[in-house]
Amino acid sequence: MLAKQSINFYRSTNFLTKFVPVKVAVVILNWNGKGLLEKFLPAVVEFSKEATVYVADNASRDDSVSFISKSFPSVKIIQNKVNGGYAKGYNDALKSLSETIFVLLNSDVEVTENWLQPVLSEFSKDNSVVAAQPKILDFKNKEYFEYAGAAGGFVDKYGYPYCRGRIFNTLEKDTGQYNGITEIFWASGACLFVKSEAFWSAGGLDEDYFAHQEEIDLCWRMKSKGGKILYIGNSEIYHVGGATLDSLNPKKTFYNFRNSLLNLLKNVGGVKAFSAIFMRMVLDGVAAVQFLFQGKPKHFAAIGKAHLSFYSLMPKFNRKRKKNATTLRYFAIKSIVYQYFIRNKRFFSDL
């Protein structure tokens, strides 16, 4: 009954006709990123004629804001009072906007000509579509998919995320295998198209995440209301990745391990959540030992810190769980760890 009611919620609420004409906000979150803005903002301005371009500055200490004002007068600046990370930064910035569709775009993304239209077209065709992402390729190696989103995201039973085109650190070459349009579980925060009313109806981004996997949580909540999330393969962008925290940074390990546990606790209904969390913690322990043998003691410690932080947040997230947890079927594969490391399945098409 819950799923049926949720689907009716989105199908009976015509977000696109409620706001006429459709308005689009491309919002780039910036923190001390003048160099990235110099490199990538020109293409965003040139190829986003259908949208209003904003830069939301997270209390930068460099001269990013003055640079934008002088070099790109058409770009509107939103100045956040503090650096609250990805989640709070976007929540604070988006509150002041009235556009129908938000495009949350990382500052280290190169957009291409006609990158907006294919995605906007899908929103107009199906009112139950609440979020989407384009094809995300690697700026440094443009024939390959990029880690953060690739061709659309999924999670396994234990909360581990994976993508079409990227499983753990294995990246597929783009040969056109993901050129179509398909429904996915989560869309990447590197370039997230989302209906503004769906965004706020779901509660926005969870600021307790600070950074990493908060888009998975948001998509999870929107799907629990019956929303549809799409991957649009005929729109392409190129993502540098790791411009804020690269894969070698233990902070990224901390946030990824902690926040995926929070996703399970917050969104999975019933006792199944706790059995999944227990098994996930066992697998995390194996990953921690592997880091130790690889000579990465800081990453080993980061997993321990992630678990301690998770424990400290459990009371707060149990309260959130009462509001958000559903029986939504969230996984198609029980264990991506088993498929990848034991069965040697390196590509999405092999799963």
The enclosing domain of 160 has a CATH number of 3.90.550.10
Q: Which of 239, 269, 297 represents a domain boundary (last residue)?
A: 239
Q: Output the pLDDT for position 211.
A: 87
Classify burial at 9, counting beta carbons within 10 Å of its beta carbon; exposed 0-12, middle 13-18, buried 19 or more.
Answer: middle
User: Does the structure show a pLDDT above 90 at 3?
Assistant: no
Number of domains in the chain: 2
Q: Evaluate whether 27 touches 102 at the Cβ level (below 8 Å).
A: yes
Domain boundary among 220, 239, 258: 239
Cis peptide before 250 (omega within 30 of 0): no
Q: pLDDT, tens digit, for every residue of 42-87?
A: 999 999 999 999 999 999 999 999 999 999 999 999 999 999 999 9
Whether residue 17 lies inside any domain: the answer is: yes
245 in a structural domain: no
Angle at 235 (CA atoms; ends 150, 199), nearest 5 degrees: 75
By C-alpha distance, which of 31, 331, 306 is closest to 155? 331
pLDDT tens digits for range 248-302 = 789 999 999 999 999 999 999 999 899 999 999 999 999 999 999 999 999 999 9
Q: How many Å apart are CA 145 and CA 28, to the nearest integer?
A: 21
Mean pLDDT across the chain, nearest whole number? 93
Average the pLDDT over 290-318 and give the result: 97
Whose structure tokens read 């804020």?
A: 244
pLDDT for 16: 45
336/3: higher pLDDT: 336
Please name the residue ranges forming H helices in 142-236: 196-201, 214-224
Does 254 share its domain with 231? no
Please check whether residues 149 and 178 belong to one and the same domain.
yes
The amino acid sitting at 274 is: F
For residue 38, give the H/E element and its range. helix 34-46
Same domain membership, residue 273 and residue 231: no
d(CA 341, CA 332): 18
Asked if residue 257 and residue 234 are part of one domain, the reply reads: no
Task: Quote the pLDDT of residue 285.
Answer: 96
Same domain, 44 and 93: yes
Structure tokens at 319: 């309260």
Q: Does residue 206 carry a pLDDT above 90?
A: yes
Sign of CA dihedral 296, 301, 302, 303: positive
pLDDT for residue 241: 85
Residue 300 lies in domain: 250-350
**C-beta separation of 133 from 305 below 8 A:** no
Q: Which of 214, 239, 264 is the last residue of a domain?
A: 239
Within-domain flag for 244: no
Residue 221 has pLDDT above 50, yes or no: yes
Beta bridge partners of 98: none
Do both 40 and 87 map to the same domain? yes
Answer whether residue 2 shows pLDDT above 90: no
